[in-house]
């Protein structure tokens, strides 16, 4: 076998050398560089994860303490009616309504406890009432009920004026019907708060 000589031989030798270099780069150097870059990225991700896990571990005692406090304290106590059953919670709602009416000069004509309804983990306790008052007493009573604690919600309100003679007027010229409800926590308040 005769190899080309002269300028032509040198060009063939350089071309063969370039082919070997290109093949070596494509099949050896580039895969090794890709493996190295993947290792560097994986190392960076692992260090970031370790830092994050260390921060989470540092927060663990505080989170456990908060969980224990939620288990021992009822977090819904300020906003829900008390009472071991719906009847006791309804009695509390009725008492709050009657106290607010008495303070604001509202005369309660009738009061009826509604059947309790389940709203997820909470129970809805309601009352229907009929009363007589003037507009100022009604406004003050509703404000007291809706802004007090535990929370109470006005469902329905019907206001009608009563025809009275001027001499017999007692100031109670409005006939009011309203539905009011509050919420009572179920058997396990901590489970309710966790939802």
Every domain of the chain and the residues it spans: 1-72, 86-192
At 11, is the secondary structure helix, strand, or coil?
helix
Please, is 18 exposed, middle or buried when counting C-beta atoms within 10 Å of its C-beta (0-12, 13-18, 19+)?
exposed
**Cα 72–chain centre separation:** 20
Q: Which residues pair with 118 in a beta bridge?
A: 123
The tens-digit pLDDT sequence of the chain (195 residues) is 677 788 888 898 899 999 999 998 999 989 999 999 999 999 999 999 999 999 989 999 998 888 888 777 777 777 888 878 898 999 999 999 999 999 999 999 999 999 988 878 889 999 999 999 999 999 999 999 988 888 899 989 999 997 766 555 556 689 999 999 999 887 544 444 444
Q: What is residue 131's DSSP assignment? A: E
Tokens representing 51? Answer: 């830092």
106 close to 132: Cβ distance less than 8 angstroms:
yes
Rounded-to-integer distance, Cα 88 and Cα 26, Å: 82
Q: What is the reported pLDDT for 44?
A: 94
Superfamily (CATH) of domain 86-192:
Ribosomal protein S6/Translation elongation factor EF1B (3.30.70.60)
Q: What is the reported pLDDT for 192?
A: 45
Q: What is the pTM of this model?
A: 0.56
Tokens representing 7? Answer: 């300028």
Q: What is the reported pLDDT for 111?
A: 93
- How many CB atoms lie under 10 A from the CB of residue 119? 10
Rounded-to-integer distance, Cα 168 and Cα 179, Å: 29
């Amino acid at each position: 076998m005769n190899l080309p000589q002269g300028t032509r031989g040198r060009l063939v030798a350089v071309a063969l050398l370039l082919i070997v270099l290109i093949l070596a780069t494509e099949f050896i150097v580039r895969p090794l560089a890709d493996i190295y870059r993947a290792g560097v990225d994986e190392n960076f991700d692992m260090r970031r994860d370790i830092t994050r896990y260390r921060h989470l571990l540092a927060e663990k005692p505080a989170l456990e303490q908060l969980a224990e406090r939620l288990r021992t304290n009822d977090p819904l106590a300020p906003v829900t009616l008390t009472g071991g059953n719906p009847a006791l919670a309804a009695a509390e709602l009725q008492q709050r309504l009657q106290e607010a009416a008495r303070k604001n000069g509202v005369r309660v004509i009738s009061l009826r406890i509604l059947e309790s309804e389940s709203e997820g983990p909470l129970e809805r306790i309601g009352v229907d009432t009929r009363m007589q008052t003037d507009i100022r007493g009604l406004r003050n009573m509703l404000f007291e009920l809706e802004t007090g604690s535990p929370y109470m919600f006005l469902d329905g309100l019907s206001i009608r004026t009563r025809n009275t003679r001027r001499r017999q007027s007692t100031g109670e010229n409005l006939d009011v019907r309203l539905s009011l409800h509050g919420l009572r926590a179920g058997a396990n308040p901590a489970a309710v708060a966790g939802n």
